[in-house]
Amino acid sequence: MTTVAVIIPTKDRETDLRRALAGLWGQVVLPDEVVVIDDASIPGVDADVFADAPAAVATRLIRNDPGLGANASRNRGVSAATSDYVAFLDDDDEFAPDKIAELKRASSGAPDIIHHGAVVTYDNEDVSYPTRVNAGVTFAMLLTGNKVGGMSLVCVRRGLIAELGGLDESLPALQDWDLWLRAAKSGAKFRAIDRPLTTYHFVTGKAAISKSLSRLKEALALIDAKFAGDLAAMPAEARLARARTDVTRHAHRLAMNGARLAAAGAYLAGGLRTRSPKLIAAAPVALLGIRWLALLRRISG
């Protein structure tokens, strides 16, 4: 039977970590392994976080000292795991109770990457929406943007990660998208589950790498350099789609950090530049705040 490990990088979020772990102990079908990588938390994560772990689940706690960052932490977790597949879980996210069961079911036929949807929840604004799941993901699709999702939405054949050289530890952001691009270019087989199996928790105004504009800009430049030849060969419509994705990333991070006017300006300028009525329409909504942008996403799908 297919085995699945869950890899959880964590730093200074003990309450969130315990919530994430409780969701694993309550799975309909248990994971075979859970590996927690403590990236130099102060105080450090104590082994008692596994106190409620079912006996059938192998657990391991790894500590980075000094801290190495999320990418290196995930790579250490993958190296420590022994299961056929590794599912990633950020410490502030949660798995649906039947996620491991669904992953094991979807592993039939040995796909390289299994991905699914999420329920995105903005905790401060008390609003949520389900993400769209893209079936039949290809390298060409991924060049226009991350059509797979973040790390907590994906389960990967462990051997594939080794074949690809792991997550790129030089990237300050977008390491998930980079991994899917490299996997697709290598011929990896993707399988989609058309259900939200993870809850993403976002807290507006909270410091996070995913919201850092400088790190985003640096990561985009590095990814563009990696795939320069592929990007240059993209047809005009695909280039336009990629540009619109870049606008959305930038504007959304501004909105998450409470910069409403800047977010609205980014949506408007980007929408005009890329001829996107949807982005232009998001500009006045951004002035109202992230709650209204989230509601717009929920309505528009």
Q: Using an 8 Å Cβ cutoff, are 80 and 166 in contact? A: no
Where would I find the H helices in the chain? 14-25, 70-80, 99-106, 139-143, 158-163, 175-185, 213-226, 228-232, 236-256, 260-274, 277-288, 290-300
CATH of 4-202, one of 3.40.50.10860, 3.90.550.10, 3.90.1150.10, 1.25.50.10: 3.90.550.10
Backbone angles phi, psi at 84, to 5 degrees: -65, -40
CATH 3.90.550.10 domain range(s) in the chain: 4-202
**pLDDT at residue 301 in the model:** 58
Alpha-carbon distances of 155 from 15, 66, 128, 163, 191, rounded to whole Å: 24, 28, 23, 16, 10
Q: Checking DSSP bridges between strand 94-95 and strand 113-122, what pairing results, if any?
A: unpaired
> Along the 301 residues of the chain, how does pLDDT read in single tens digits?
899 999 999 999 999 999 999 999 999 999 999 999 999 999 999 999 999 999 999 999 999 999 999 999 999 999 999 999 999 999 999 999 999 999 999 999 999 999 999 999 988 888 888 999 999 999 999 999 999 999 999 999 999 999 999 999 999 999 999 999 999 999 999 999 999 999 998 888 755 544 578 888 999 999 999 999 999 999 999 999 999 999 999 999 898 888 899 999 999 999 999 999 999 999 999 999 888 887 777 766 5
